[in-house]
Amino acid sequence: MFKFKQFTIEQDKCAMKVGTDGVLLGAWTPVDNNPYAILDIGSGTGLLALMMAQRTDAEQIDGVEIDEAAHEQAINNFENSPWGDRLFCYHAGLEQFATEIDEEYDLIISNPPFFSEDVLSNDTQRDTARFQEALPFDLLIEAVEFFLSEKGIFSVIIPAKEEDKLIHLAAEFGIYPMKVTRVRGHKDAEIKRSLIAFSRTFIEKIPLDELIIEIDRHVYTPEFTALVKDFYLKM
């Protein structure tokens, strides 16, 4: 299990465990629009939905997860949290979910599978969780356009090399970046991740910054610490 300050994640049934990417996304995601309804696409353990429950007063926080074991684990993590009455996880693929659910969400968040290299492991569950083919960007953006409210925000973390691709694809659906943060492991490392928040409003000059995680091994930058201190026990 993984213990945070206000909740615990059981993750023995999930292919993808709690990692820095998910915590970063959950802590970084803008919530200034005071979302009433939130959707976590590809919920996994339920980490992002739980982080949103801690950070917001949203009345409705839904997850959607295709893997049956992960879905069960998310439900259990929700029920064992302080916010069980606000959290629910659907067991469905994204296309099925879109045909059955007619909702608008003020915030959509996703840590999508993005291991797009042509190297498969022998673990089908892990491959489904990690591989882009399981949730291609075009399907993700199409779902976001369908579910996102007029003033809604879509927040995502992806490999930095995929940033331009996703931004151009989203623009085809009338979804535009409003904030971008590029992430380095340390100051001399290459940029590995992009955190991007989108909205339906086109902005000419997108706010862009960088986040460095470590000064040295297990010595974290003040910026990273400030971002995640409400969640990690030892921050």
pLDDT tens-digit map of 55-72? 999 999 999 999 999 999
Give 132's DSSP letter.
G
- The domain that contains 206 carries what CATH number? 3.40.50.150
Which amino acid belongs to residue 47? Answer: L
How many Cα atoms sit within 13 Å of 45 on the Cβ side? 24
Cα-Cα-Cα-Cα torsion 97, 166, 44, 90, nearest 10 degrees, comes to: -10
Evaluate whether 87 touches 66 at the Cβ level (below 8 Å). Answer: no
Evaluate whether 17 touches 2 at the Cβ level (below 8 Å). Answer: yes
Residue ranges making up the domain that contains 197: 2-229
Type and span of the H or E element at 198: strand 191-199
- For residues 14-35, give the mean pLDDT: 93
d(CA 98, CA 147): 8
Number of domains present in the structure of the chain: 1
* Domain presence at residue 234: no
d(CA 17, CA 229): 20
Q: Residue 213: is its pLDDT beyond 50? A: yes
For residue 32, CA distances in Å to 47, 57, 102 come to 20, 11, 24
Position 116 scores a pLDDT of: 44
* Domain presence at residue 142: yes
Q: What percent of the chain has pLDDT over 90?
A: 80
Q: Residue 220: is its pLDDT beyond 70? A: yes
* Domain presence at residue 126: yes
Q: Residue 133: is its pLDDT beyond 60? A: no
* Domain presence at residue 235: no
Beta bridge partners of 183: 193, 211
* Domain presence at residue 102: yes
Chain mean pLDDT for the chain: 91
Greater confidence, 136 or 209? 209
